[in-house]
Structure 1
Amino acid sequence: MNAVTGHVPAEGAERVPPPEGLKRWSTGQKLGLAALPLVGLSAWALAHNSGTAPPAAPPPATVTAASPLVRPITEWDEYSGRFEASRAVEVRPRVSGQIVGVHFRDGAVVRAGQLLFTIDPRPFAAALAEARASVAGARSDLALANAELGRSERLVANGFVSRADIDRLRAKVQAAQAELVAAQARVRARELDMSFTQVRAPITGRVSDRRIDPGNLVGGGATGGEATLLTTINALDPLYFAFDASEALYLKAKRSRAQGAAGAPVEIRLQDETGYRWHGRLDFTDNGLDTRSGTIRLRAVVANAGQFLAPGMFGNLRLSTGAAVPALLVPDAAVTTDQARKLVTVVDGAGNLSPRPVVTGPLIDGLRVIRSGLNPNERVVIAGAQLAMPGMKVKVQPGRIAAVAPPSVAAPASAPPAGAATFATR
């Protein structure tokens, strides 16, 4: 009997000697080696008889898919700039003298014509009285000259007065008339000086603080260069928003409006605001570009009825470049990046996944604009894409894409069509 296989050779058959290494094994080792096939067979039989099945394949992954949201959007270009007063005035005196009264509160809103400062009027009142006295004297001289000319004209016919005397008397009358006109002009000048002792607000707006207190002497002047600065006034409603645009954005906006876009509405947000709550309209574009910076200066008019805005404030402005156009929007989380490409995962009717290269646009309300590469009737995976690989078959759960406008964004003065979305290019 063979110790390894347990086979008993037939009678008369040639016996095969065991391997050399096997000759050194003990009888127990040889019996254990012979029992190995039986142990393996017994284990297989035990597992087969117990009914344990091999592991089953995992179920297909579940993903949520939805068609892209189709909405009209209005494209905007973003700029940075600052608010400016629509009108700004430096208040300076027209006459010199001592300040005897300040009639406003620092930082208050003043109306055009409101009294701000009073300059001591007494020297100007005396000068006005002197001018009026000169008028009375000129009238008296003119009356005397007219009387002398009248008497001489009655005597010239009898030869008692020569023609030369008559000419001299007429010249005297004309000189008296001229002196009267000059005296009357001096009166009007002194009246103006008297009125200039009351410094009034030339425009309606918010006044700054007073730069001169009562009791100080101020210098006046017609040109204002040498006159003392008393205060400043800024008109705050409306305000200007000034900003610079690059040549590329200027050309883009110019061509869009040339193709039929109506108007140029603007929306502005301040540093601490998330929405564009201030609205206005572009009213000025400079007549040329700055060759050093390649930019052009533009200005928008913004209503400021509550006077919350102030000159010098920084803001971000977006300028509409055209009318509302339909666009496809998907959640920004559904867009992935593959090196230099933007991809979305689409699923077909059989539940197969496939990546789709797309060209993306700006972000609006958490949704990304898809400019090209996607059809409105295709389904985009919006959740669960990380559980499946492209090419796999998945179970599709229907979803819905919706955009909610931020609560801080107010409706613009010239709002887009109902249901339209707005965004700023980046």
Structure 2
Amino acid sequence: MTRQSTTAAALTVLALATLIGFVLWAPLNATTAVATVANEPVGQPVVVATPTKKTIVDWDEYSGRFAAIEDVEIRARVSGYLTEIAFTAGEIVEAGDLLFRIDPRPFAAELAAANATLASAEAAYRYAKAEMERGQQLVSQHALSSEEGERRLREAQQAEADRAAARARVAQAELDLEFTEVRAPVTGRVSDNFVSLGNLVTGGASGGTLLTTVVSLDPIYFEFTASEADYLKYRRLEQLGTRESGRDTHHPVRVKLMDESTFSHSGYLSFVDNRLDHSTGTMRGRATLANPDGLFAPGMFGRLQLLGSGEYEALIIPDTAVQTDQAQKFVWVATGDDVAERRAIELGPLVHGERIVRDGLHEDDRVIISGTQFVHDGAAIIPQYAEPVAQFTSR
């Protein structure tokens, strides 16, 4: 056999061995691959959590505005020319601080004239009284007629009345002079002057010239309205004994401003009206809050939370787990067979980022809180437990 023939035979044997090895290996490898795929879990990974049971109370929310407890219009009480403005517009003033001065000279002169009239009336009264007393003595001695005695009595009585009228005119003149100094009746923030120096202002019990306004700031009111349905709910709770009347109890309230995300300001319910507004079907309510730093200003908008129930046990879930389909709220729940199931629920309020569930869930339900965008009803899932819902207190 030649060298070339030997080489060709060796190559042929090698090729046959390779072919036989491939034929034997291929089925074995396919079986291993199928086994590997069969052992891998099938489904979409999702994160689940069970609802947390907690004893809580409800807080009902209302929109409203702050209002000053004392909102005073400062008006002129006597007529005259404005001679002094004694405050800086927008500053805090104390009760009794001088705000305006009206020219006092005409009123000082009027007071002097009234005092002079009073002095004359006092002298006339003293003379008439002395004459009356002498007349009574003479009448008793039959030295003076009874008619003359009665005349002197009438003159004394008239003099006494004139003296009283003169005293009243002095008192009025003193008041008018006092009213030329316009003072702050309450402590609060003053507006600007509505009338400038030198202008003639008109006084009087009604219709006096408006000079400025002063509003108190601390404490301050928060005014809101509640619906008839809310009013009935509160009355039913009172009848059941689970919530006391807002007229008899200062229920706590919490307030947040338009640029705040949490209800961080505390106060109490201080007033509930005695009737519903027939045109709106609502009832007025009012809360009182401390305002030592003057953060709240009358007219400012805010949101208020009012204690809306007694204590009860409720289930809470992360609000991010709640889905919306038109008007229906629902969550995805992992069944015992690790299949996604859509579950309609009835929601309560949102508290500290967690949602209260009124109906539709049980304590042992596994709620899908992450990965819901990849699931549908009946889809196979791979549940992975998240950390329990954080404990919180809604009170």
Q: Summarize deviations over 1:309-348 as a string: whole Å, max 9, x none.
A: 1111111222221123222222234344578462332353
236-245 or 211-220, which moves further after superposition?
236-245
Distance 1:402 1:325 in 2: 18
Provide the rounded CA distance (Å) in 2 between the counterparts of 1:354 and 1:242: 47
Question: 1:71, 1:421 within 8 Å by CA — same for their partners in 2?
Answer: no
For 1:53, the equivalent position in structure 2 comes to 30
Post-superposition shift, 1:211?
A: 1.1
1:396: Cα distance to partner? 4.8
Counterpart residue number, 2:131: 148
- Give 1:355's aligned residue: 341
Residues 32-69 of structure 1 show CA distances to partners (whole Å, capped at 9, x for unaligned) of xxxxxxxxxx9999444444315432511554433222
Separation in 2, partners of 1:152, 1:373? 104
Q: Secondary structure at the match of 1:282?
A: strand
Give distance in 2, aligned partners of 1:369 and 1:160.
104
Quick check: 2:94–2:188 contact (8 Å CA) kept in 1?
yes
Taking only aligned residues, the RMSD between alpha carbons, in angstroms, comes to: 2.9
In the alignment, the residues of structure 2 paired with residue 288 and residue 251 of structure 1 have an alpha-carbon distance, to the nearest angstrom, of 12
Are residues 44 and 300 of structure 1, via their aligned partners in 2, closer, same or farther at CA, if it must alter by over 3 Å?
Answer: farther
Aligned to 2:200: 217
Distance 1:139 1:386, change over 3 A: closer
Q: Which residue identity does 1:230 align to in structure 2?
A: L
TM-superposed deviation, 1:93: 1.4
Q: Secondary structure at the match of 1:328?
A: strand
1:326 corresponds to which of 313, 318, 322: 313
Q: 1:194 to 1:324 in 2, by over 3 A?
A: same
* Matched residue SS, 2:59: strand
Select 1:268's aligned residue among 255, 265, 289. 255
1:345 maps to 333
Give 1:86-235 correspondences, 5 Å limit. Answer: 86-156=69-139, 160-223=143-206, 225=207, 227-235=208-216
Taking structure 1 as reference, are residues 177 and 81 closer, same or farther at Cα in structure 2, changes over 3 Å only? same
Specify the code of the residue in structure 2 equivalent to 1:251.
L
Once residues 47 and 390 of structure 1 are traced to their aligned partners in structure 2, the CA distance between those partners, rounded to angstroms, is: 45
Q: 1:255 — aligned with what?
A: 236
**TM-score when normalising by structure 1:** 0.76
Residue 303 of structure 2 is matched in structure 1 by: 316
Q: Is the 8 A contact 2:58 2:394 kept in 1?
A: no
Q: Would the aligned equivalents of 2:189 and 2:215 in 1 still touch at CA under 8 Å?
A: yes
Separation in 1 of the partners of 2:20 and 2:377?
40
Aligned-residue sequence identity (percent) comes to: 42
1:231 is displaced (CA, Å) by: 0.4
CA distance in 1, matches of 2:142, 2:353: 111
Distance 2:132 2:320 in 1: 106
Q: Looking at CA atoms only, which structure, 1 or 2, has the larger radius of gyration?
A: 1
What SS class does the counterpart of residue 176 from structure 2 fall into?
A: helix
Q: What residue in structure 1 maps to residue 4 of structure 2?
A: none
User: 1:245 aligns to what?
Assistant: 226
The whole-number CA distance in structure 1 between the counterparts of 2:115 and 2:236 is 67
- The number of residues matched between the two structures is 363
Between Structure 1 and Structure 2, the one with more helix by share is 2
SS state at 2:235 partner:
helix
Distance 1:400 1:130, change over 3 A: same
TM-score scaled to structure 2, two decimals? 0.81
CA contact (8 A) 1:327 1:371 kept: yes
**1:169–1:401 Cα change, 3 Å:** same
* 1:181-220 C-alpha deviation (Å, 9 max, x unpaired): 2111111111111111111111121111111222221110
Q: What's the offset of the Cα at 1:381?
A: 3.7
Aligned equivalent of 1:416:
none
User: For residues 327 and 159 of structure 1, do their structure 2 counterparts lie closer, same or farther at Cα, with a shift above 3 Å needed?
Assistant: closer
The residue number in structure 1 matching 2:274 is: 287
Residue number in structure 2 paired with 1:25: none
The alpha-carbon deviation at position 389 of structure 1 amounts to 7.0
For structure 1, which runs of at least 5 residues remain unmatched after alignment?
1-41, 405-418
Q: Distance in 1 between matches of 2:119 and 2:50?
A: 96
Please tell me the residue identity of whatever aligns with 2:290.
Answer: A
8 Å CA contact retained: 2:67, 2:222: yes
The aligned counterpart of 2:363 is 376
Tell me the secondary structure at the aligned position of residue 161 of structure 1. coil
What does the per-residue CA deviation read over 1:73-112, in whole Å, with 9 as the maximum and x for residues that have no partner? 3212222221111121110111111111111111111122
Verify the 8 A CA contact 1:116 1:201 in the aligned structure 2: yes
User: Aligned with 2:171: secondary structure?
Assistant: helix
Q: SS of 1:357's equivalent?
A: strand
1:81 aligned partner:
64
Question: Could you tell me how far apart the structure 2 residues matched to 1:53 and 1:402 are?
Answer: 46
- Between the aligned partners of 1:134 and 1:64, the Cα distance in structure 2 is 97
Whole-Å Cα distance in 2 between the matches of residues 211 and 66 of structure 1?
64
> Which amino acid in the other structure matches residue 229 of structure 2?
A
